[in-house]
Structure 1
Amino acid sequence: MIIKRNLDELDSSGLSVITIGTFDGVHLGHKKIIEKLVSTAKANGFNSTILTFFPHPRMVLQQDDSLKLINTIDEKTEILEKLGLDQLIIQPFTKEFSRLSAMEYVRNILVNKLNAKKIIIGYDHRFGRNRTATIKELKEYAASFNFEVEEISAEEINEVSVSSTKIRKALEEGDIEKANLYLGYEFMLTGNITKGKGLGRQIEFPTANLNIQENYKLIPKHGVYIVKSNINKKTVYGMMNIGINPTVGGTTKSIEIHFFDFDQDLYGKTIQVNMMKRLRDEKRFESVEALKQQLYKDKANALNFIEKYHAQ
């Protein structure tokens, strides 16, 4: 897959079938559109191309810092790369870009830059300055500029019954299994391992502290989760706490992972952690010893789940 982080980097040779959107989560509904995109392009000898935007338009136009995204831009790129696309264009979304008229957007970008021969798009797609143009206008431009528009109907979209909003809500409520069902893969957190206070090691549960640099990344509800990670080409399971560690007087949020049967130094490394199931809420225990006993129970529950997971 060719990845361009700006339309100006694109070599405009080769005709394209295009779909356009933010694709946060790259969930089952998105995959249905992308599968159609890839198969259509292959059948016609065209490039399958996604045009997406970063930052999310709401962050730029409404300066909405409260919007948290399911994927970082690198996570989204990694997921899309596995779906057989030819080209991914990540266009920086700016106020200047948002002011392009519908005509300028279609002519300058879809036609002149991307060589669109077909655009596969949702029935509710809006574009151009103030998002005033609809699929009706897009079809009119298609006739002028000699490309096709394939409309994805409301019925097709609703048939999947999945949306990025539903997934965000599930994650905010800690319902990892529902989120994973909608996504079609395990929700992930990606970050650098940094040094903590070493309290976990003192109670026989050493932890790796995950520092996520992207402040727009959605972090699920506080609690204890079963997780897995690929480290040195080996799948390692563990349990992760998201919260403030109230039993030891913590006040700031941290993400700490205890990997089972693993004792390698991870400091300074970047790892991706896949979340599988929520075990319980984070809570304050009467003592560190009580916390330690609960962690043994959590580990037993996690190992039991992992054994059943492998038996499926």
Structure 2
Amino acid sequence: MKILNDLDAFAKTPTVVTIGTFDGVHIGHQKIIKRLLNTAEQGHLKSVILTFFPHPRMVLQKDAHIKLIHSIGERCQILDSLGLDYLFIKKFTHDFSRLSAKAFVKNILVDKLHARKVIIGYDHRFGRNRNADINDLRKFGEYYGFEVEEISSQDIDEVTVSSTKIRTALKEGNIEKANAYLGHSFMITGKVVKGKELGRQIMFPTANISVDETYKLIPKKGSYVVSSEMGGQLVYGMMNIGTNPTVEGKKESIEVHFFNFNKDLYHQNIQVNLLQRIRDEEKFESVDALKAQLLKDKAVSLQFIASQHA
């Protein structure tokens, strides 16, 4: 998959295009993408997803509190695994939001992406003030020579419901439910930074992960079974999201203890996949009590991991 930010670099080749945020690239999205890929294959076209970043609400509503299931980098990674030809990430700005529907269709879909077919939701709106809909797009298609295929209300509802259920499940700590709707493991990506090193003192050294993307949705505080790929090797561990109340921590942190792994990860970017939730975050009477609980958590984690390979 080629990722484009500038359409001047796009080859003059006929395409089939779908448009959307595709946050999570969950099972509902995957159904639409499969349709896109099948259409591309049958019509000898290149498959293209046109997405926008930053999220329009971040720009138009200054919504600093919006939380997305995946960072833009994680979204690219998942889309790449599905066999897409091109992902065009259009920078969303105030100027772009003022572009008329006709200008959007001609300048981007026709002149730049050479669309022969556009697959779009029945309720999709576009152009300045979002004043154009799928019926307008069909008229543009007749004029400019591309076909419009509608994504049904049932499929769009599936996308909306899945996204809502995933966000709710993550906020509630129900990682199994979130993963079932995603069709893959929820992930957290970030840089390993220096922490207080309390874990090292109690024989549970941790990698402290700093997530740069403030819009990334972080699940409910607590402990989770996780996995990560390190140099081509799958490594398991357990992760805590929280403030470390036992030692009077104030700031929320994300810390991972990997099993049978002792390499230096400082300043490296790592991706952690959340597999199952173990428990809520607790404040223990002492550090020794915390260590005793961590030993129990490790046993639960190893039992879960063994069950996945049984």
Mapping of residues 247-286 of structure 1, within 5 Å? 247-286=246-285
| Residue in 2 that maps onto 1:94 | 93
Per the alignment, residue 302 of structure 1 pairs with: 301
| SS of aligned partner of 1:63 | coil
2: distance between equivalents of 1:174 and 1:80? 25
Q: 1:175 corresponds to which residue?
A: 174
Q: How does 1:196-235 map to 2 (within 5 A)?
A: 196-235=195-234
Deviations 1:287-308 (A, max 9, x none): 1111111111111111111111
**Which segments of 5 or more consecutive residues in structure 2 lack a partner in the other structure?**
none
Distance 1:160 1:19, change over 3 A: closer
- Distance (Å, rounded) in 2 between the aligned partners of 1:79 and 1:123: 25
Q: Amino acid of the residue matched to residue 7 of structure 2?
A: L
Specify the SS of the correspondent of 1:144: helix
**Whole-Å separation in 2 of the counterparts to 1:161 and 1:138:** 22
What does residue 6 of structure 1 align with? 6
> CA offsets, 1:25-70, max 9 Å, x none?
0011111111111111111111100100000011111110110111
> Quick one: which amino acid aligns to residue 140 of structure 1?
K
Structure 2 match to 1:153:
152
Distance 2:56 2:180 in 1: 27
Matches of 2:8 and 2:253, distance apart in 1? 39
Tell me the distance in 1 between the aligned counterparts of 2:104 and 2:223: 46
Amino-acid identity (%):
61
Q: Any idea what SS the aligned residue of 2:170 has? A: helix
TM-score between the two structures when normalised by the length of structure 2: 0.97
Counterparts in 2 of 1:55-204, with a 5 A limit? 55-158=54-157, 162-204=161-203
Contact 1:225 1:276 in 2 (8 A): yes
**Does the 8 Å contact 2:227/2:272 carry over to 1?**
yes
Contact 1:27 1:162 in 2 (8 A): no
Cα distance, 1:160 vs structure 2: 6.9
Q: Deviations over 1:255-282 (max 9, x none)?
A: 0000011111111111100000111110
* In structure 2, distance between residues paired with 1:62 and 1:176: 30
Which residue number in structure 1 is paired with residue 48 of structure 2? Answer: 49
Kept in 1, the 8 Å contact 2:242–2:281? The answer is yes
Deviation at 1:231? 0.6
Please tell me the residue identity of whatever aligns with 2:6.
Answer: N
Q: State the SS of the aligned residue for 1:163.
A: helix
Secondary structure at the counterpart of residue 136 of structure 2? helix
**Preserved CA contact (<8 Å) 2:179 2:186:** yes
Cα 1:130–1:163, aligned 2, differ >3 Å: closer, same or farther? farther
What secondary structure does 1:240 align onto? strand
Cα distance in 2 for residues equivalent to 1:217 and 1:274: 14
Letter in 1 for 2:5: R
Count residues with an aligned counterpart: 310
Paired residue type of 1:190: T
Equivalent-residue separation in structure 2 for 1:171 and 1:242 (angstroms): 12
Residues 210-268 of structure 1 deviation map (CA, whole Å, 9 limit, x = unaligned): 11111111111110000000011111100000000000110001100000111111111
For each residue in 1:182-208, what CA deviation from the matched residue of structure 2 results, as whole angstroms up to 9, or x when unmatched? 000000001111111110011111111
- Cα distance, 1:122 vs. partner? 1.0
Q: Is the 8 Å Cα contact of residues 162 and 182 (structure 1) preserved in structure 2?
A: no
Task: Structure 1 unaligned segments of length 5 or more: list them.
Answer: none
Alpha-carbon deviation of 1:161? 7.5
Give the match for residue 288 of structure 2.
Answer: 289
Q: Work out whether residues 29 and 159 of structure 2, in 8 Å CA contact, stay in contact via their aligned partners in 1.
A: no
Q: 1: CA distance between counterparts of 2:95 and 2:158?
A: 36
Q: Does 1:236 align with 2:244?
A: no
Tell me if the contact between 2:243 and 2:251 (Cα under 8 Å) persists in the aligned partners. yes
What is the distance in 2 between the residues matched to 1:143 and 1:250?
Answer: 62
Distance 1:97 1:156 in 2: 28
In the alignment, residue 28 of structure 2 is paired with which amino acid?
G
Cα offset for 1:162? 4.2
How much has 1:159 moved relative to structure 2?
5.6
Once the two structures are TM-superposed, the CA of residue 285 in structure 1 deviates from its matched residue by 0.5
Task: Give the whole-Å Cα distance in 1 for the aligned partners of 2:252 and 2:290.
Answer: 18
